[in-house]
Amino acid sequence: MQNYILRKLRRSLRLLEKNSSLNQLKTAPLGLFNQLPLEIIYRIFQFLPVDDMGLLALGSKAMRNLIEIFANTKQGLKLFAPGCVILAKTSLTCKQRDCQCLRKCVSLTYYGKFIHTVIRGWDNTEYCRVFEAIEKKSKIMKYIDLTLSSNLGSRKHLELIIRLFYRSIFIDECDNVNQKSFWLSTIIKSLQMIHQAKLFLILFAPIQNDEIQWTEMNEHVIANLDEAKHYFKELAVGVFMLYHLNNDWNDSDIITLLSEITATPSDWLPENVCTLLYLCGKDITILYLEDVINKGNFEEVASLLTSLSLVSIKCEGEHLFSMNIITSICDRIPSKRDKVTYWNAIADSFRNAIMYSYDLAEIGDEDSEQTMMKILESFTELFKHSVTYWNFDVEE
């Protein structure tokens, strides 16, 4: 029987040295670039896009200095000059002079891009921690409490600061609407409902000359689809995201939010309420009007549906949306007696709107004359739908 001598395995010193040198390279100021000659590094830089070069400069001070030196060489100028890139210190991402116009200040936008780049892929609970930390550090809640406790429009500068802070950092830099819905909910959900509506309007209400147009909804109505989008699109998109893309908001929350929004700072004109509902979509419109019907306010619903018909003509040139809403609401009314009351209320509302427009047209108001013609057209279409609806109901 042969005797075998067991030898202890030796670890190669060459491998140990290789691992050690690799670790040293990774922790070196230039990383793996540390073992390359300067000519090769510059050659690599020539193939990098300018954006990647900027990100690389943030890696370490040594790398930043190396890129700044390269930018002033002949090869560097050839790389940067075609894109008209301004050569500035990479450590200075924003000008440190005071910005006179807040809306033109890019510092919040850059900060928002930075935050979203850092937290991309994190969990929602970690997002909330980041949000709370930024709010606490910036002391923005102090401005919010001061603004919401004052009359709307009395602190225009603070309203603009709040709007730019939340939109530039959290909302506008999101990659998709799901993220926007999350951040919007996080921003307003912790407040009381009346304050939620005020802050929602601060974020999305129409703005002109750096001032939020608080009274626009109470004084003027839209003339066409372009005006509707200008004044109401951002508000409608915000409500749409909370309703369709966020589980923290139920039907009751959306109805209450809409009711508070359309009563801030005072009751909106019915046509403006309907313009907002029209842009929110069919589901939210039916949800809101059904709640009003359930409270027994047939006259209020009839007035809103009359305005909705007018908005539908102005925005899409036809009555399809408004007539679908009218019949959908009727289908949700269980009592046949209430259905008759519902249709009679709509007919009375149309008649009052026609008479009011006619009186204004008699004075010589051309806009009122056009409005009257549109209401007459809507009323004719409504009559056709009502006849078809009741004939179908009788046949059943």
CA distances from 266 to 262, 312, 366 (A): 8, 24, 28
Quote the tokens at residue 94: 């924003």
Residue 61 counted as domain residue: yes
Average pLDDT over residues 55-83: 79
To 10 degrees, what angle do helices 336-363 and 320-331 make? 150
Total structural domains within the chain: 3
Q: What is the pLDDT of residue 97?
A: 56
pLDDT category of residue 128 using cuts at 50, 70 and 90: very high
Average pLDDT over residues 31-38: 82
Q: What is the pLDDT of residue 396?
A: 47
**Do 123 and 231 belong together in one domain?**
yes
**Do 61 and 109 belong together in one domain?**
no
> Does residue 233 contact residue 279 with C-beta atoms inside 8 Å?
yes
Q: What is the pLDDT of residue 205?
A: 95
Lowest mean pLDDT among 87-96, 100-109, 297-306: 87-96
pLDDT category of residue 81 using cuts at 50, 70 and 90: low
Residue 298 counted as domain residue: yes
pLDDT at residue 17 tops 60? no
**Do 142 and 239 belong together in one domain?**
yes
Residue 234 counted as domain residue: yes
**Do 345 and 238 belong together in one domain?**
no
**Do 74 and 108 belong together in one domain?**
no
CA distances from 111 to 10, 94, 172, 214, 252 (A): 54, 10, 12, 29, 35
Domain range for residue 132?
103-204+215-243
**Do 178 and 144 belong together in one domain?**
yes
**Do 288 and 387 belong together in one domain?**
yes
The owner of tokens 């279409």 is 381
Average pLDDT over residues 289-311: 92
Between CA 26 and CA 18 the distance in angstroms is 12
Give whichever of 31-35, 249-253, 385-389 has the largest mean pLDDT.
249-253
Residue 166 counted as domain residue: yes
Quote the tokens at residue 12: 């190669």
**Do 368 and 294 belong together in one domain?**
yes
Spatial CA neighbour of 34 closest among 66, 7, 58, 12: 66
Helices within the chain (DSSP H only): 13-27, 38-45, 50-57, 61-71, 74-80, 107-119, 124-138, 140-148, 156-166, 177-188, 193-204, 216-219, 225-245, 251-261, 270-280, 282-294, 298-316, 320-331, 336-363, 366-395
**Do 230 and 321 belong together in one domain?**
no
**Do 183 and 289 belong together in one domain?**
no
Between CA 320 and CA 382 the distance in angstroms is 10
Q: What is the pLDDT of residue 19?
A: 55
**Do 153 and 239 belong together in one domain?**
yes
- Domain end, chosen from 46, 65, 80, is at 80
The owner of tokens 């009375």 is 348
Average pLDDT over residues 91-112: 69
Q: Which residues of 198-221 are buried (b: 16+ CB within 10 A; e: fewer)?
A: bbbbbbbbbeeeeebbbeebeeeb
DSSP tag of 12:
P
> Does residue 233 contact residue 226 with C-beta atoms inside 8 Å?
no
Q: What is the pLDDT of residue 18?
A: 52
Average pLDDT over residues 235-250: 95
- Strand, helix or coil at 20? helix
pLDDT category of residue 1 using cuts at 50, 70 and 90: very low
Per-residue pLDDT tens digits for 164-212: 999 999 999 898 999 999 999 999 998 998 899 999 999 999 998 889 9
DSSP tag of 47:
T
Residue 273 counted as domain residue: no
Query: Taken in order 327, 333, 336, 340, is the CA torsion positive or negative?
Result: negative
Q: What is the pLDDT of residue 393?
A: 52
> Does residue 206 contact residue 213 with C-beta atoms inside 8 Å?
yes
pLDDT at residue 96 tops 80? no
Between CA 321 and CA 260 the distance in angstroms is 25
The model's pTM: 0.74
Residue 180 counted as domain residue: yes
Q: What are phi and psi of 262, to 5 degrees?
A: -80, 5
Burial of 222 (0-12, 13-18, 19+ CB in 10 A): buried
Give whichever of 2-6, 14-18, 55-59, 284-288 has the largest mean pLDDT.
284-288
Residue 263 counted as domain residue: no
pLDDT at residue 336 tops 80? yes
Residue 306 counted as domain residue: yes
Lowest mean pLDDT among 18-22, 57-61, 184-188, 242-246: 18-22
Query: Taken in order 367, 233, 313, 310, is the CA torsion positive or negative?
Result: negative
**Do 128 and 59 belong together in one domain?**
no
Partners of 208 in the beta sheet? 211
